[in-house]
Amino acid sequence: MGDATIRVTKALRTVGIIGVLLGVGTVLWSTLLYIDGHEFSLTTTYLSDIGNTPRWPQVVFNSGMLLISPVRYLFLVLLVLQMSHLGAGRAFGTAALTIGGLVVVGSVGMSAVPHSLSLAVHKLSALLYFFGVVILQALIAAKEFRCRLAGILPLSSLAVVAVYLVFAVLLSLAGKVEGITRNTPVVWEWLAFCSLMFWLIVHSFFLKNAQSSTGHAR
């Protein structure tokens, strides 16, 4: 059991680092390509706007997002395995992987179908992704609290829940409620991306120490 836990821990860290590098690299590279010829602002430019910009911004952003989706699902699989060693039950793993699968479907839908191609499909995929992440991260946070893991782990999960929930709600209300315009949710999408990268980093480096720092998980 000890050797298996160590192997999962190393794999979790490796996949997590790859996910962060792919995520940050994709966003930075595609944003730089977008800025060359387009006005850019964190309060008016959605990430999906970059993915909908013809030629290189679109190619780099959407290709990167499609690559990241299976990497993040693999990270989730490893996280479930690691948490099973720390006291999480089979029901948690089944629920997390099922919801995670729906999140991947939403992420792939957003990347494969820009809003200029089909606004309905893109927005439906976005809502599936963002609300799916809210449910998934809330589930993970609850289990981390229950297993008495290091505080930074559930707190980082709850940070993702809060930011993603605000963005998803604003996105669903944009243009339908007075005072909530198309631009209102934009900054929250960027914050959502940053919170997820932070979550990946925290779980890549701290989950491995959770058992030794908390004792026997229940």
List pLDDT tens digits, range 188-202: 999 999 999 999 999
26 pLDDT above the threshold of 90: yes
* pLDDT for residue 3: 66
Q: For the chain, give the percent of residues with pLDDT over 70.
A: 93
Q: How confident is the model at residue 1 (pLDDT cuts 50, 70, 90)?
A: low
CA distance 194 to 200: 10
Task: Write the pLDDT tens digit of every residue in 97-153.
Answer: 999 999 999 999 988 888 778 888 888 998 899 999 999 999 999 999 999 999 999
Is 63 domain-assigned? yes
165 pLDDT above the threshold of 70: yes
Is 57 domain-assigned? yes
For the chain, the domain total comes to 1
Cα-based distances in Å from 157 to 45, 71, 140, 166, 218: 26, 18, 7, 15, 19
Residue numbers of the domain that contains 14: 2-212
Is 218 domain-assigned? no
DSSP 17-66: HHHHHHHHHHHHHHHHHHHTTS---TTT--HHHHHTSTTHHHHHHHHHHH
Is 106 domain-assigned? yes
Is 184 domain-assigned? yes
* pLDDT for residue 178: 87
Is 193 domain-assigned? yes
CA distance 150 to 78: 18
CA distance 29 to 60: 7
Q: How confident is the model at residue 214 (pLDDT cuts 50, 70, 90)?
A: very low
Is 217 domain-assigned? no
CA distance 48 to 147: 37
Is 97 domain-assigned? yes
